[in-house]
């Protein structure tokens, strides 16, 4: 008997369950795989032997995974370090005859998958390990982009468009500055994507602050004032991870998450306070937080389709005997947009970060150029609306009965 485990790890996206759907459907249809289990709460579900048999789920609910945001199976931020942890994982793999392992996540999750692959080689355990890419941050190397990015880009582009219209309407004698705080710890892809909303010169955003460019208060204040002078208002997209020239985060919370990353948050309020105190201008800010990465009601059709494809292809590649790889996306053309998948060694992805390249950023460091627009625009194309019931999206409700 040959069984498979699929699990989700790290911060979620609005299309991570579309990748789960791709994996699960492909595994259920594969003669070589007897059972496809899902580990509840990521790799923790393996340790706790909390495994749900997808073959016993209602097929209609599995179909709804394509439309369901966040993690339908629970995620985690556990980083594997000790030899004893790997011994325990493979003891459990052996108990349940696990011959395929699919881990759906970002940089740190690919590190986990890579370590499991390497340990299997070390002890001679026959298992195929495949990484399934996921991160709204779009910062995984060697893949053109990452499932999750297109949808957060679409969500935030709409948000900045509508927020700018609001501040424009109030600017005559009230609020003149609107700040949209976006995710993005080290890479500014998410904040940069708000530029897709800008069709005319006066449209927001007028300023985009990226982690790749050191934050300079004086230049920032100068651009805010000039923008208000020109249009009467100023709309700003700011990445949570922007830093001063000395490398310190502008909005660090002072503690770390379970992966050891400095916890960020509050760049919107930090900048708003700076503008109020230094320039005396009334400022509003918005913090989409979880909403931006779980806003499935407005996901990109391209993003959903590719999320499903990378999941299905992970199973296909594993059945072909491949192991120790992440499924990447290769862009074939922009107009019409076409892509295919490719294999990327997990060694090349684990703990690595792809930054917004300098050639995508304007000379003043506070916006992106046409090269970025050309890159990102195809990724937000199309809508893949979920079914609605009584005016509210209908999302999957799985039994997740433990085996």
The greatest distance separating any two alpha carbons of the chain, rounded to the nearest whole angstrom, comes to 72
d(CA 63, CA 53): 16
For the segment 28-53, the average pLDDT, to the nearest whole number, is 98
Q: Known catalytic residues? A: 137
Provide the pLDDT for residue 1. 87
Give residue limits of the domains in the chain.
3-138+297-367+380-393, 149-294
Query: Which tens digits make up the pLDDT trace of 146-177?
Result: 999 999 999 999 999 999 999 999 999 999 99
User: What's domain 149-294's superfamily in CATH?
Assistant: Phosphofructokinase domain (3.40.50.460)
Would you say 362 is a known binding-site residue? no
Does residue 251 carry a pLDDT above 90? no
For the segment 249-273, the average pLDDT, to the nearest whole number, is 74
In 3D space, the residue among 84, 126, 101 whose CA is nearest the CA of residue 42 turns out to be: 101
The CA distances from residue 372 to 13, 142, 180, 190, 267, in Å, are: 22, 17, 19, 12, 23
Query: Which tens digits make up the pLDDT trace of 82-94?
Result: 999 999 999 999 9
Would you say 136 is a known binding-site residue? yes
For the segment 66-81, the average pLDDT, to the nearest whole number, is 96
Contact 255/263 with Cβ under 8 angstroms? yes
Neighbouring CB atoms inside 10 A of 200's CB total: 5
Would you say 118 is a known binding-site residue? no
Does residue 198 carry a pLDDT above 60? yes
Provide the pLDDT for residue 254. 58
Would you say 91 is a known binding-site residue? no
- In sequence order, which ranges of 280-327 are alpha helices (DSSP H)? 290-294, 301-319
Element (H, E) at 327: strand 325-334
Contact 96/3 with Cβ under 8 angstroms? yes
Provide the pLDDT for residue 259. 54
Does this model's pTM top 0.85? My answer is yes
Does residue 261 carry a pLDDT above 70? no
For the segment 336-343, the average pLDDT, to the nearest whole number, is 98
Residues forming beta bridges with residue 243, ordered by sequence position? 249
Provide the pLDDT for residue 265. 62
Does the bond joining 373 to the residue before it have cis omega, within 30 degrees of 0?
A: no
Q: What is the pLDDT confidence band of residue 264, given thresholds at 50, 70 and 90? A: low
Provide the pLDDT for residue 258. 54
Would you say 185 is a known binding-site residue? yes
Does residue 196 carry a pLDDT above 60? yes
Would you say 390 is a known binding-site residue? no
Q: What is the pLDDT confidence band of residue 351, given thresholds at 50, 70 and 90? A: confident
Q: Do domains 3-138+297-367+380-393 and 149-294 have the same CATH topology?
A: yes
Strand segments, DSSP code E, in 137-288 are 177-182, 207-209, 234-239, 252-256, 262-264, 283-286
Would you say 265 is a known binding-site residue? no
Provide the pLDDT for residue 290. 95
Would you say 11 is a known binding-site residue? yes
d(CA 389, CA 393): 6
d(CA 206, CA 362): 12
Contact 162/356 with Cβ under 8 angstroms? no
3-138+297-367+380-393 folds as Rossmann fold (3.40.50)
Q: What is the average pLDDT score of the chain?
A: 96
Q: What phi-psi label fits residue 139: left (phi over 0), alpha (psi between -120 and 50 degrees) or beta?
A: alpha
Provide the pLDDT for residue 256. 58
């Amino acid at each position: 008997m040959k069984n498979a485990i699929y699990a989700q790890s790290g911060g979620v996206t609005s299309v991570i369950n579309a990748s789960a759907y791709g994996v699960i459907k492909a595994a259920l249809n594969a003669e070589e795989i007897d059972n496809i289990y899902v580990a509840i709460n990521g790799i923790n579900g393996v340790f706790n032997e909390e495994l749900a048999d997808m073959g016993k789920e209602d097929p209609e609910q599995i179909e709804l995974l394509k439309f369901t945001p966040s993690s339908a199976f629970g995620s985690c931020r556990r980083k594997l370090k000790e030899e004893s942890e790997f011994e325990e994982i493979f003891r459990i793999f052996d108990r349940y005859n696990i011959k395929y392992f699919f881990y759906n996540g970002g940089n740190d999750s690919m590190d986990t998958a890579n370590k499991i692959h390497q340990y299997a080689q070390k002890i001679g355990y026959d298992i195929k390990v495949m990484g399934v890419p996921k991160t709204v941050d779009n910062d995984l190397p060697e893949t053109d982009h990452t499932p999750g990015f297109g949808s957060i880009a679409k969500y935030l582009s709409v948000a900045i468009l509508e927020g700018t219209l609001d501040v424009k309407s109030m600017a005559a004698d009230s609020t003149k500055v609107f700040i949209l705080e976006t995710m993005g710890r080290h890479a500014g892809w998410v904040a940069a994507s708000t530029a897709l909303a800008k069709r005319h010169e006066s449209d927001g955003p007028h300023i985009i602050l990226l982690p790749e460019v050191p934050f300079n208060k004086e230049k920032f204040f100068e651009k805010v004032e000039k923008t208000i002078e020109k249009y009467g208002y100023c709309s700003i997209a700011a990445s949570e991870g922007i830093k001063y020239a000395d490398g310190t985060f502008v909005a660090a919370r002072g503690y770390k998450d379970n992966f050891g990353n400095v916890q960020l948050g509050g760049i919107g309020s930090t900048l708003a306070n700076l503008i109020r105190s230094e320039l005396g201008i009334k400022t509003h800010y918005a913090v989409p937080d979880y909403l931006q990465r779980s806003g499935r009601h407005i996901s990109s059709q391209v993003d959903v389709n590719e999320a499903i494809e990378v999941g299905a292809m992970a199973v296909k590649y594993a059945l072909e005997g491949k192991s120790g790889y992440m499924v990447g996306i290769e862009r074939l053309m922009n107009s019409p947009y076409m892509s295919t998948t490719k294999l990327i060694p997990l060694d090349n992805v684990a703990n690595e970060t792809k930054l917004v390249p300098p050639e995508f950023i304007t000379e003043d460091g506070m916006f992106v150029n046409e090269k970025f627009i050309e890159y990102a625009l195809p990724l937000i194309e199309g809508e893949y609306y979920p079914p609605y019931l009584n005016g509210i999206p209908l999302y999957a409700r799985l039994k997740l009965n433990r085996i």
